[in-house]
Amino acid sequence: MAEQPVDVLIIGAGASGAAVAWSLADTRMHIVCLEQGDWMNPAEYPSSGRDWESRAFGDMAISPNRRGRPTDYPVNDSNSPIAVANFNAVGGSTILYAGHFPRFHPSDFRVASLDGVGDDWPLDYETLEPFYAEDDRMTGVSGLSGDPAYPAKQSVLPPVPLGKSGDKLARGFNDLGWHWWPSDTAVATALHDGRDQCINLGACTSGCAQGAKASTDITYWPHAMRAGVEVRTRCRVREIAVNDDGMASGVWYYDADGEERFQAAEVVVMACNGVGTPRILLNSTSEQFPDGLANSSGLVGKNLMFHPYASIQGIFEEELDGFRGPGVCIWSKEFYETDESRGFVRGFTYEINRGRGPVATAMTGMMSGRIPWGAEHHRAYRDLFCRITGMVAICEDLPEEHNRVTLDPELTDIHGIPAPKIDYTLSDNSRRMLDFAVERASEVLRAAGATDIISESPIAAGGWHLMGTARMGKDPAKSVVNEWGRSHDVKNLFVVDGSIFVTSAGVNPTRTIQALALYIADQIKKRLANLFD
């Protein structure tokens, strides 16, 4: 069944889809967003129930394979040391994200020129700065101005509390003379735009029942919808269709009843994330585009970047915050910029992530052998409960073509659409960076008083940043979209999600994903008269 054509069809209602929809809404064009997931009901998030930690292993797990909701699609990540994490709903993966909200640094846009690796971006920090600022207002970024690791930037709301954990580790960093600063976060520390302030539930990565964490279902979407954008949920896109001129003509999708439908559109915007977008582009084959849409460079799905993570936690003798408080706290940029004497290029951010809940403490202790079976269980448990804090190191992942998303030849979702298959290996540079990060973090923790260290490197479940699989660039032979997000091959097709990242930086990506989506929307608005030239 065909529907009336729309001006702009956005696929995916996550971080980037929401931002681009909101910005384009002031054109008063007819804009529709197709989203495979549902609207979430914050009252049903795990922190409202006694089983809140348990549900992170079930219906609110970060792995779509474990969650297995009908709104999810499976991901074959068996050939990767890092598993994909996401969420599929209005709000996308921001429903589960922790809300670490750093910007890229100016150097991140010029890694080839500065360090001879990867590629330079076709735009720079100054170009994105106004869009970062716009996103900061929409998100309600909490933080403290004056971080010497960044050019000047203003925070919208006061920083999240340091708590006992942040205080302790700040002293460890100070002992070593290393940088730290209260993190920029997407957690409202005061009333903001109809959202209540954080009350330290500590369950941010299972959805924020308080509405303090800026998932886009409660930030951008209400504004975009009030301005006329229509969101259709439970609509899963299978492929983008093209006309004889090689332009996108619309999309084939399955509606909530599983009916196949066609939605015609003048402009198609992909916002399905760094795995979902290449999946649909590769599945959009035709006589004109036998290798998938927008893929004349052969780069759709290639250069997948995750950010290898290490977790380094200390055990302390005194009681700390445990799980209380948002998982965001302070960060350190001490090892952010390249210093080749360390044995690797580029760098990483440390993000202090407070502690863990009663169940997670038991699991950490029992799985690592620190809590024995039998009568000694209880004493050993109490030696750990509310006494663990530490950090993650988020390492810059460099683009490598062999790290990629392809279509699985056998696995499909419930609609028969091929599932994405991930092939990914850790580079030697990443391994060296991870090892270095674990050693230096252990020094901080010991300086802060830790008596024992628990580490995991890389974090096997930590494929939560999905980038690089439809990279932007000026050269059509070396990139999928141009410097303002338009496909080189199909002039009414745009990509706005993490797929367009050229390099990954050593920071969480969402603030940059959204700044880019706002920048691309701005470029579209400025070029409406000759958008397809």
Partner 1 sequence: MSQESMIATDNPLDADQESALAAIVGAMIPASDEYSVPSAADPTIFADILTLVKRHPEPVIEALEALEALANSRHSTGFNALDDEAKAATLETFRQSATPHLRAIVSMTAQCYYRDDRVMASLGMEPRPPFPKGFEVEQGDLSLLDPVRARGRIWREA
| Residues engaged in binding ligand SF4 (CB under 6 A) | 187, 198-204, 208, 210, 212-213, 326
The reply to whether 483 sits near partner 1 by the rule CB under 8 A is no
The DSSP symbol for 93 reads G
The reply to whether 144 sits near partner 1 by the rule CB under 8 A is yes
User: Which helix or strand (DSSP H or E) is residue 130 part of?
Assistant: helix 125-139
The reply to whether 504 sits near partner 1 by the rule CB under 8 A is no
The reply to whether 233 sits near partner 1 by the rule CB under 8 A is no
Q: Which of 277, 331, 345 is nearest to 508 (CA)?
A: 331
Binding residue (CB under 8 A) for partner 1 from 6, 203, 248, 315: 203
Binding residue (CB under 6 A) for ligand FAD from 6, 8, 9, 13: 13
Binding residue (CB under 6 A) for ligand FAD from 23, 47, 76, 94: 94
Q: Which of residues 447-476 bind ligand FAD (CB under 6 A)?
A: 464-465
The reply to whether 161 sits near partner 1 by the rule CB under 8 A is yes
SS (H, E, C) 467-531: ECCCCECCCCCCCCECCCCEECCCCCEEECCHHHCCCCCCCCCHHHHHHHHHHHHHHHHHCHHHC
CB contact burial 161-186 (16+ within 10 A = b; e otherwise)? bbbbbbebbbebbeebebbbbbbbbb
Q: Which of residues 359-388 bind partner 1 (CB under 8 A)?
A: 359, 361-363, 366-367, 373-375, 377-378, 382, 385
Stretch that binds partner 1, among 104-112, 294-302, 476-484, 524-532 (CB under 8 A): 104-112
Selection from ligand SF4, partner 1, ligand FAD, none that 37 binds (CB < 5 to 8 A by kind) is: ligand FAD
- Pick the closer one to ligand SF4 by CB: 205 or 249: 205
Stretch that binds partner 1, among 46-54, 218-226, 432-440, 471-479 (CB under 8 A): 46-54
Q: Which of 81, 94, 124 is nearest to 12 (CA)?
A: 94
- Pick the closer one to partner 1 by CB: 92 or 357: 357
The reply to whether 99 sits near ligand FAD by the rule CB under 6 A is yes
Instruction: Give the chain's length.
Output: 533
C-beta of 406: minimal distance to partner 1 in Å?
29
**Beta-bridge partners for 240:** 251
Question: If you search the block for the tokens 């044995």, which residue do you land on?
Answer: 343
Pairing between strand 181-182 and 236-242? Answer: unpaired
- Pick the closer one to ligand SF4 by CB: 203 or 275: 203
Selection from ligand FAD, partner 1, ligand SF4, none that 204 binds (CB < 5 to 8 A by kind) is: ligand SF4
Selection from partner 1, ligand FAD, ligand SF4, none that 435 binds (CB < 5 to 8 A by kind) is: none
C-beta of 60: minimal distance to partner 1 in Å?
10
Selection from ligand FAD, ligand SF4, partner 1, none that 213 binds (CB < 5 to 8 A by kind) is: ligand SF4
C-beta of 351: minimal distance to ligand FAD in Å?
8
Contact (Cβ atoms closer than 8 angstroms) between residue 208 and residue 202 = no
Q: Which of residues 238-297 bind ligand FAD (CB under 6 A)?
A: 271-273, 276, 280
For the record, the structure tokens of 253 come out as: 């999708």
For the record, the structure tokens of 299 come out as: 């780069």
Give me the helix-helix angle, 15-24 and 125-139, nearest 10°. 90
DSSP state string for 162-204? -HHHHHHHHHHHHHHT---EEPPBSB-SS-BTTBPPP---S-G
Q: Which of 210, 70, 83, 33 is nearest to 464 (CA)?
A: 83
SS (H, E, C) 236-295: EEEEEEECCCCCEEEEEEECCCCCEEEEEEEEEEECCHHHHHHHHHHCCCCCCCCCCCCC
Question: At 519, which amino acid appears?
Answer: Y
Selection from partner 1, ligand SF4, ligand FAD, none that 302 binds (CB < 5 to 8 A by kind) is: none
C-beta of 161: minimal distance to ligand SF4 in Å?
10
The reply to whether 337 sits near partner 1 by the rule CB under 8 A is yes
Q: Could you tell me the CA-to-CA distances from 13 to 8, 88, 256, 521 in Å, in that order?
A: 14, 9, 16, 15
Cα separation, 97 vs 507, in Å, equals 14
Binding residue (CB under 8 A) for partner 1 from 5, 26, 51, 256: 51
The reply to whether 180 sits near partner 1 by the rule CB under 8 A is yes
- Pick the closer one to ligand SF4 by CB: 289 or 323: 323
For the record, the structure tokens of 283 come out as: 């599945």
Stretch that binds partner 1, among 7-15, 42-50, 78-86, 215-223 (CB under 8 A): 42-50
- Pick the closer one to ligand FAD by CB: 85 or 481: 85
For the record, the structure tokens of 5 come out as: 């054509």
SS (H, E, C) 332-358: ECCCCCCCHHHCCCCCEEEEECCCCCH
Q: Which residues are at the interface with ligand FAD (CB under 6 A)?
A: 11-17, 34-37, 62, 85-89, 92-94, 96-100, 205, 236-237, 271-273, 276, 280, 464-465, 497-498, 508-510, 513
